[in-house]
C-alpha cells in the first residue's frame, strides 16, 4: 500500500467527513445553506479554483446542486452560507444560481463536492451550467479532488 500524497489537493468539511452523512442544516430539510469547507495543498501554479456539487443518484440522472468558478487560489476555506469573494456561481438544476442542497425524493443519495485547480481564470456567463463549466475547464485542470457527503431525508 502506497503512502498518501500529502501534497495532493484536498477538500474537507468540518460539518461531515468523507462518505459520511451530511447534517440536515445543509439540505432542504433545514435552512439549506452551503456547508463550510477547508481547502488544502492548492498547487502554486493554480490561477483559480472551481467547484461542482452534484448527485449521481437522482432519479432523472445526475442533478447539479452548485456550480462555482473563479475561486481565488488564495482561498483556504469557504464559510458556511457564503461564496468566496470574487467567485462566480452558475445555474443549478433547480434553475437558479447559488447552492441548492440535497433534497432526495427517497433513499440515501451521494453528493459529490468536486474541486478543481485550474491554470487559468474562466470567462463564463452568469447563466453558465455545469456542462459549460466542464467544457471551459477541459485541458486546464492541474489538480482535482472530491469530498462525498451522504443524505437521506427523514
3-state SS class at 16:
coil
Domains (ranges, CATH) in the chain? 10-152 (3.90.280.10)
Q: pLDDT tier at 24 (50, 70, 90 boundaries)?
A: very high
Q: Is the pLDDT of residue 30 over 50?
A: yes
Give the span between the Cα atoms of 83 and 89, in whole angstroms. Answer: 8
For range 57-62, the mean pLDDT: 94
Helix (H), strand (E), coil (C) string for 61-75: CCEEEEEEEEECCCC
| DSSP conformation class of 131 | H
Look at residue 28 and tell me whether its pLDDT is greater than 50: yes
pLDDT tens, 70-102? Answer: 999 999 999 999 999 999 999 999 999 999 999
Task: Tell whether the model's pLDDT for residue 3 goes beyond 90.
Answer: no
Edge-to-edge strand ranges of the sheet holding 10-12? 10-12, 37-40, 77-78
Rounded to an integer, what is the distance from CA 120 to the centroid of its chain? Answer: 18
When the pLDDT of each residue in the chain is averaged and rounded to a whole number, the result is 94
pLDDT value of position 153: 86
Spatial distance between the Cα atoms of 90 and 87, rounded to a whole number of angstroms: 10
Amino acid at each position: 500500500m502506497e503512502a498518501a500524497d500529502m501534497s495532493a489537493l484536498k477538500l474537507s468539511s468540518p460539518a461531515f467527513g468523507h462518505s459520511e452523512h451530511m447534517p440536515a442544516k445543509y439540505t432542504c430539510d433545514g435552512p439549506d445553506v452551503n456547508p463550510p469547507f477547508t481547502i488544502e495543498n492548492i498547487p502554486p501554479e493554480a490561477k483559480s479554483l472551481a467547484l461542482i456539487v452534484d448527485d449521481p443518484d437522482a432519479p432523472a440522472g445526475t442533478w447539479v446542486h452548485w456550480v462555482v468558478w473563479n475561486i481565488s487560489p488564495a482561498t483556504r476555506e469557504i464559510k458556511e452560507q457564503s461564496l468566496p469573494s470574487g467567485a462566480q456561481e452558475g445555474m443549478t438544476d433547480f434553475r437558479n444560481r447559488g447552492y441548492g442542497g440535497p433534497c432526495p425524493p427517497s433513499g440515501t443519495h451521494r453528493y459529490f463536492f468536486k474541486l478543481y485547480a485550474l491554470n487559468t481564470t474562466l470567462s463564463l456567463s452568469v447563466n453558465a451550467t455545469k456542462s459549460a463549466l466542464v467544457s471551459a475547464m477541459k485541458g486546464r485542470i492541474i489538480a482535482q479532488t472530491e469530498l462525498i457527503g451522504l443524505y437521506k431525508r427523514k
